[in-house]
Amino acid sequence: MSDNKIKNMEDFAAVSGLSRPTVSKYFNDPNSVRSSTRDRIEAALQKYDFHPNIYAMNQNRKLTNNVGIVVPYLSDPVFAELARKVEENCILAGFRPTLFSAHGQPRLEVEILDGLRLLKPSGVLIAPLGRTPNRAVIEKFCADVPTVLFDSFLPDTGLGFAGSNNPQFAHLIVDYLCRTGEYPSFLEMRTPANPNANRRRQAYIAAMENLGFEPSIVKIDGEGWAFEEIGRSGGGKALLEKQFATNTILCSNDRLAIGFLTACYENQIRVGRGPDCDIRVAGMDDHPFSRFTCPPLTTVAQDFESVAKEAVSILVASIEGREISKPSTFFDGRLVMRESA
């Protein structure tokens, strides 16, 4: 640990008895130098702990080691989990991921993308907010920077996509609910913050018609990302006004369901599938807290791990110049039966 004034690669090359270009080669790919050379460098690294200046590196390199990860709303535990797994996979693939959240604001999403351009990243993984005005911005961005979309699909944009098979989610839970009791009414926001909501609604309708039932959708007011509060107030109002066609409610997502469960509690409506219960409630996503609601929420679990892995693997393939065999993958969800339905 005698780091005697090793200020740059020049100095470090000197103390390791090599030339700077050789050392530079090593840092760009340790396997590009002879193993005996590699050993000398690594021995010197132990003694002097030198780190190349990343700004000087990135200034000249065609490809930085940076990867940007952008999610619409990091305070939403579903996205926090997804982002965590994407980050993990990026690190495993040898990248330096940087995490960004649009905090639900389209303006911020644009700013993040602008900032990312300056970082000259090797690639970007983005779960778009999905708001119409930003579609063009994201398309433009994808044209400039190797970008993989995840979670929320945009047609003909980016290198590829990995996300959930939202229609399958709705079919799965609708089938389950119908099989085990009354057919479900659907609860959602009138203007969903996330475009996956639309696919889930459409699949709900299709699944219902498939089984010969009349779809029944209750749309509640509320803007933004405070889904629980929207589910509570809007869902409570819908309950009081008896807007639901049946006593089985399928919520567009778990966060909405969590708020709706609170509304049920406030109105002394017993939730569950027991004989003494008034109503069944189900969601979609398998939000980290869904297991801890009262009663625990029946839902469809997203396969975060597969989504994250696939998204990163598309990016890696593209960066390494390989063909992308399957640009878009939609992973099936898994039914999670708990006590709420």
Please report, as ranges, the residues that interact with its own copies according to CB under 8 A: 51, 53-56, 58-59, 74-75, 77, 80-81, 83-84, 96, 98-101, 103, 115, 117-120, 228-229, 232, 258-259, 261-262, 265, 288-289, 291-296
Residue 133 in contact with residue 114, Cβ under 8 Å?
Answer: no
Binding status of residue 94 toward DNA by CB under 7 A: no
Cβ neighbors of 45 (< 8 A, separation 6 or more) are none
Cβ neighbors of 61 (< 8 A, separation 6 or more) are 28
Shortest spacing between CB 314 and DNA, in angstroms: 24
Residue 123 structure tokens: 């690639």
30, 43, 56, 224: which one binds DNA (CB under 7 A): 56
Task: Choose among its own copies, DNA, none what residue 1 binds, the Cβ cut-off being 5 to 8 Å by kind.
Answer: none
C-beta of 67 vs 256, nearer to DNA = 67
Task: Choose among its own copies, DNA, none what residue 100 binds, the Cβ cut-off being 5 to 8 Å by kind.
Answer: its own copies
Residue 99 in contact with residue 69, Cβ under 8 Å?
Answer: yes
Binding status of residue 52 toward DNA by CB under 7 A: yes
Binding status of residue 133 toward DNA by CB under 7 A: no
Task: Choose among DNA, its own copies, none what residue 32 binds, the Cβ cut-off being 5 to 8 Å by kind.
Answer: DNA
Q: At what angle do helices 304-319 and 77-92 cross, to 10 degrees?
A: 40
Task: Choose among its own copies, DNA, none what residue 293 binds, the Cβ cut-off being 5 to 8 Å by kind.
Answer: its own copies
Q: How far out from the chain centre does Cα 272 lie? A: 30
Q: Where are the beta strands (DSSP E) in 96-237?
A: 96-101, 123-126, 147-150, 160-164, 185-189, 217-220
Binding status of residue 120 toward DNA by CB under 7 A: no
5, 62, 179, 242: which one binds DNA (CB under 7 A): 62
Shortest spacing between CB 108 and its own copies, in angstroms: 9
4, 46, 60, 325: which one binds DNA (CB under 7 A): 60
C-beta of 58 vs 243, nearer to DNA = 58
Q: Give the SS3 label for residue 274.
A: coil
Distance CA 72, CA 149 (A): 12
Residue 308 is which amino acid? A
Residue 79 is which amino acid? F
Residue 288 in contact with residue 299, Cβ under 8 Å?
Answer: no
Task: Choose among its own copies, DNA, none what residue 290 binds, the Cβ cut-off being 5 to 8 Å by kind.
Answer: none
Binding status of residue 61 toward DNA by CB under 7 A: yes
Cβ neighbors of 288 (< 8 A, separation 6 or more) are 77, 78, 81
Task: Choose among its own copies, DNA, none what residue 101 binds, the Cβ cut-off being 5 to 8 Å by kind.
Answer: its own copies
**Angle 148-151-155 (CA atoms, 0-180°, nearest 5)?**
60
Shortest spacing between CB 213 and its own copies, in angstroms: 30
**Alpha-helical runs (H) found in 51-131:** 54-60, 77-92, 106-118
DSSP annotation of 212 reads T
Shortest spacing between CB 271 and its own copies, in angstroms: 9
Write out the binding residues for DNA, residues 32-51 only, by CB under 7 A: 32-34, 36-37
Task: Choose among DNA, its own copies, none what residue 119 binds, the Cβ cut-off being 5 to 8 Å by kind.
Answer: its own copies
C-beta of 20 vs 96, nearer to DNA = 20
Distance CA 25, CA 23 (A): 5
DSSP annotation of 332 reads P
Residues that bind DNA (CB under 7 A): 7-10, 17-22, 24-25, 27-28, 32-34, 36-37, 52-53, 56-57, 59-62
